[in-house]
Amino acid sequence: MNRSTLTVPPAGTPQPEPHPEASVGVPLGPHYARCFGCGPDHPTGLHLEAVSHDGLSVHAEFTVGDLHQGAPGLAHGGVLATAIDEALGMVVWLLRKPYVTGRLETDYLRPVPVGTTLLITTRCTGVVGRKAYLEAEARLDAPDGPVAVRGAAVFVEVPAAHFERHGGGAGGMVPGREVNP
Ligand SMILES: CCCCCCCCCCCC(=O)SCCNC(=O)CCNC(=O)[C@H](O)C(C)(C)COP(=O)(O)OP(=O)(O)OC[C@H]1O[C@@H](n2cnc3c(N)ncnc32)[C@H](O)[C@@H]1OP(=O)(O)O
């Protein structure tokens, strides 16, 4: 993968510790019911479902449908980036602080046909100040299937007021309520 240095934690950054109340071994559920990535109430969303086994990584599934095409029969790259972004966001939710995507990098290695179930694994590789460094891998149809997309990101911690100031508030997005029940 062609990683920029911006998404790699500085040398010597320790492995982050999982939050003691991170939800593990159970479905993570949505952080917001109308989220395009994970919300069950979104009519055309991706409806990602995910679980974490260690509080620092997430295994998510996304089945590519007709509504997700770019070229005929193939997933749109932007949709795949969205699925990666969402699965990365699920990792920072496990840290139980509000973060937003600052930078997202994606490498597309294989076409993803309609009907494919993408198995997306995301993990946090370091936290430095407000920045969380993350990486992602999406495989075709099986945990050991071919890698179709790789991703890397920096998420930036924001105050809860970020959502009041720039959006309609944080209604329905309560850490500890939906993602970490
Ligand atoms: C209730 C809970 C709900 C939680 C809700 C969770 C929803 C999850 C949904 C999925 C995720 C998304 O799609 S989120 C939506 C898409 N993303 C956004 O809308 C974000 C829009 N951008 C912004 O709001 C802003 O640019 C921020 C917050 C990212 C940064 O602005 P800021 O707060 O002024 O901070 P700033 O000083 O610039 O940067 C802080 C540190 O981060 C670094 N940094 C900033 N941007 C970048 C960048 N693009 N790439 C690398 N590094 C960066 C800086 O170098 C600095 O490092 P240093 O100097 O400290 O070393």
User: What confidence tens digit (pLDDT) does each residue in 69-87 have?
Assistant: 999 999 999 999 999 999 9
Q: How many residues does the chain have?
A: 181
- The answer, yes or no, to whether any atom of ligand 1 lies below 6 A from the CB of 154, is yes
Name the token pair of 146: 């071919």
Q: What does the pLDDT average to over 6-33? A: 95
Confidence of residue 169 (pLDDT cuts 50, 70, 90): low
Pocket test residue of 90, 97, 100, 165 for ligand 1, highest count of atoms within 8 A of CB: 100
Confidence of residue 180 (pLDDT cuts 50, 70, 90): very low
pLDDT in tens, 100-144: 999 999 999 999 999 999 999 999 999 999 999 999 999 999 999
- In this structure, the residue with its CA closest to atom 46 of ligand 1 is 102
Phi and psi at 7, nearest 5°, equal -105, 10
58 C-alpha to center of ligand 1: Å? 21
Q: What does the pLDDT average to over 138-155? A: 98
Total-model pTM: 0.94
72 C-alpha to center of ligand 1: Å? 34
Q: Please, what are the domains in the chain?
A: 24-166 (3.10.129.10)
Phi and psi at 163, nearest 5°, equal -75, -30
- In this structure, the residue with its CA closest to atom 16 of ligand 1 is 101
What's the CA dihedral at 84, 147, 91, 39 to 10 degrees? Answer: 40
Phi and psi at 137, nearest 5°, equal -145, 135
Q: How many CB atoms lie within 10 A of CB 41?
A: 12
How far from 151 is each of 6, 38, 52, 133, 148, CA to CA, in Å?
13, 18, 18, 11, 10
What is the DSSP secondary-structure string of 85-149? HHHHHHHHHHTTS-EEEEEEEEEE-S--BTTPEEEEEEEEEEEETTEEEEEEEEEESSTTSPEEE
Can you give the pLDDT at residue 172?
61
Q: How many CB atoms lie within 10 A of CB 16?
A: 19
Can you give the pLDDT at residue 164?
86
